[in-house]
Structure 1
Amino acid sequence: MAEKKVAATKAATEKKTTVKRACATKKTIAKKTAVVINAENVGFRAGDVYQALAAAGKSLSVAEIAKVANISTEEVLLGIGWLFKEGKVKEQEDKIVLA
C-alpha cells in the first residue's frame, strides 16, 4: 500500500515539473529599428504625426501618437520636431496638440 502511495506522489511531482517547464515564459528580444533620417522620411513622419493629431482632435502624448500613427517613438519625435519648426503643433500639458 505504501509503495502505491509513493509511486503516485512521485508521478504527481514529475507531472508538476513538466507543467512548470511547459509554462515557462519566453523572453522576447526587442528589435531596434533603424530610423532613416533624411528630409523625405522626416517629412513623411511629420505627416503621420499631423494626421494622428487631426484624427484624434485632442492633445496626445508621444506614446499615444506612436500607437495611433503606427510608427516608433523616435519617428514621432522626428515628425514633432518638423511640425514645431513649421509652427503646426504646440505643447499643452506635456502633450502635443495642433496649433
Structure 2
Amino acid sequence: MAADKIICHCKQVSYLDIRKAMIKGARTLDEIKEMTGAATGCGRCAGEVEKILASVCGCKGVSLETVVNAVNNGANTTDAVAEETGAGSCCGRCKVLVENVIELKR
C-alpha cells in the first residue's frame, strides 16, 4: 500500500501515519484513534484501520499476531523473527515495527 494513501478522509490520516503510531506502540483501534484521530469522524475507515493494525509485513503477509507469538516463543531479535515468520526478510520496511513488538512483547 502506498505510504501516502489517505485512510481516514475525515481527519486526513494516511497509511504511514497509522504505521508510525503502531511503531510508537499502538495496537488497538482505540489507541490509533487517540494517537492519529483516524476513525473519530464518520468512522467508515475503522475497518481499514483494523486491517492495517492486523498486519506487520505486507511483503510476506505476516500478521501482528504471528509476530507477537514468535516473540512470546523466544524470538528476541529481528533476525530471529524473520527466520521464524518471514517478517522483515524482504524489503525491511517493517523491521522497526518488529523491533517495537519485541520491545513491548505485544
Same fold (TM over 0.5): no
Higher relative contact order (CA 8 A, sep 6+): 1
TM-score, with normalisation over the residues of structure 2?
0.34
Higher helix share goes to which structure?
A: 1
- Flag the structure with larger Rg: 1
Q: What TM-score comes out, normalization by structure 1 length?
A: 0.36
